[in-house]
Amino acid sequence: MQFTFSHSEIHVFDLEKSLKFYEEALGLKEVRRKVAGDDSFILAFLSDGLTTHRLELTWMKDRDKPYDLGENETHLAFMVDDYAAAHAKHEAMDCIVYENKNMGIYFIADPDGYWLEVVPDRTKTRP
């Protein structure tokens, strides 16, 4: 038996704002959408165009306030081939919330406050 990753899901308060952020900040594009028959929710699946893993954004129609993320100890991580360019882009977007220069990583926050880790592609620098 073999298990493989399919997708990760997060709830978002403003779907359009989130879709715009994920495309601008990380280049993710919507590839599939499911709208509930009663319009009570929308699932938008985003892709990096390279892997089969998807990020599912769930929007709930009756949600009237942003989500409480607690201590925000959970995050998604994205590997990037040009770390310096990504850092400059996110700095210009003013979405960097934490940086660990010793580890060579940083975190950005999406419109709902979810933290997203950005790491360099170290597979190209390993011996």
85-94 residue pLDDT tens: 999 999 999 9
DSSP H helices, 1-127, are: 15-26, 83-93
User: Does residue 70 surpass a pLDDT of 90?
Assistant: no
Known catalytic residue at 117: yes
Candidate list 30, 56, 99, 117, residue with the active-site label: 117
Quick one: which of 40, 65, 64, 45 has its CA closest to 56?
Answer: 45
- Tens of pLDDT, residue by residue over 15-53, are 999 999 999 999 999 999 999 999 999 999 999 999 999
CATH of domain 7-62+74-124: 3.10.180.10
Whole-model pTM above 0.75? Answer: yes
What pLDDT score was predicted for residue 125?
A: 57
What is the residue extent of each domain of the chain? 7-62+74-124
CA dihedral 19, 24, 25, 27 (to 10 degrees): 90
